[in-house]
């Protein structure tokens, strides 16, 4: 069990959506917050609002989680600003959709660089200091239900989230008995701006940046509509705080999706028995 009160939490992708909701819940639980995001003005506005609302120290930092050197430098800057930090929420993520044969090298590099590389860089930058101070801590890696079940039109995203789930399961075993807990958050549809993440996708050679959502009638368009009609991020945040306090590993937001996870499990078990 780990109590966030009077601890310092680092939250990536913190200017809005799930990241801001978790940061807000942590601040209301008594934590100080280092809020990281790619968009400087948005994260500064978010930090200011959260500090005013909660009275906690909330500082904003511009960060591309795929930039390892920047993340390593931020670890030192945050330690200078706050002292020891205890909680790491690897939340920043992007999505791009379409059939696997339409995915370009840029699509793969960008999505894996943020969704998996961002988690890796967060761990490289912040976990050593959490281990070193011997005050305990907790890491939350934000994956997706797409880290457990595959969906047509989301091959790149699904690959990145399966990787985050596997990484989290392994690091939980590595950190057992260390006083540092691990949780992996696997939400279903949540009302965020992830369907607009293509605005941040770099153009590859000869390309124009493109949005992740194809025409409205496509499978990907259906997924985008699911995001827009999803649950509010604040509905997730309380579950995350409870998982940190109780030391729970898996965090699920949509129990109705259990049947699809069971289908996959049954298919695997059936194949192993033949």
Q: What residues are labeled active site?
A: 157, 161
> Which residues have a Cβ under 8 Å from the Cβ of 79 and sit 6 or more positions away?
85, 129
Strands 180-186 and 250-252 come out as parallel
CA distance 155 to 132: 38
- Grouping H, G, I as helix, E, B as strand and the rest as coil, residue 88 is strand
Task: Catalogue the E-assigned strands of 24-81.
Answer: 32-37, 58-62
CA distance 265 to 255: 16
b/e 209-235 (16+ beta carbons within 10 angstroms → b): ebebbbeeebebbebbeebeebeebee
């Amino acid at each position: 069990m780990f109590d966030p009160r009077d601890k310092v939490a680092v939250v990536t992708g913190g200017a809005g959506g799930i990241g801001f909701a978790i940061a807000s819940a942590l601040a209301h639980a008594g934590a100080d917050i280092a809020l990281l995001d790619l968009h400087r003005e948005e994260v500064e506005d978010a930090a200011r609002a959260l500090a005013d609302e909660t009275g906690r120290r909330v500082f904003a930092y511009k960060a591309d989680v795929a930039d390892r050197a920047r993340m390593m430098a931020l670890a030192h800057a945050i330690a200078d600003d706050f002292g020891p930090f205890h909680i790491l929420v690897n939340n920043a993520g992007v999505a791009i959709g379409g059939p696997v044969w339409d995915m370009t090298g840029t699509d793969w590099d960008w999505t894996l660089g943020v969704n998996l590389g961002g988690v890796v860089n967060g761990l490289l930058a912040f976990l050593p200091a959490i281990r070193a101070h011997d005050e305990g801590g907790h890491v939350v890696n934000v994956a997706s239900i797409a880290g457990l079940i595959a969906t047509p039109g989301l091959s790149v995203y699904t690959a990145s989230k399966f990787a985050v789930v596997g990484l989290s399961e392994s690091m939980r075993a590595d950190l057992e008995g260390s006083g540092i807990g691990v949780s992996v958050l696997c939400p279903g549809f949540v009302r965020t701006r992830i369907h607009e993440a293509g605005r941040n996708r770099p153009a590859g050679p000869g390309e124009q940046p493109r949005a992740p959502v194809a025409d409205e009638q496509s499978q990907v368009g259906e997924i985008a509509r699911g995001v827009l009609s999803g649950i509010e991020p604040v509905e997730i945040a309380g579950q995350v705080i409870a998982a940190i306090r109780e030391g729970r590993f898996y965090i699920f937001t949509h129990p109705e999706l259990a049947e699809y996870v069971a289908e996959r499990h049954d298919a695997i078990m059936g194949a192993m028995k033949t």
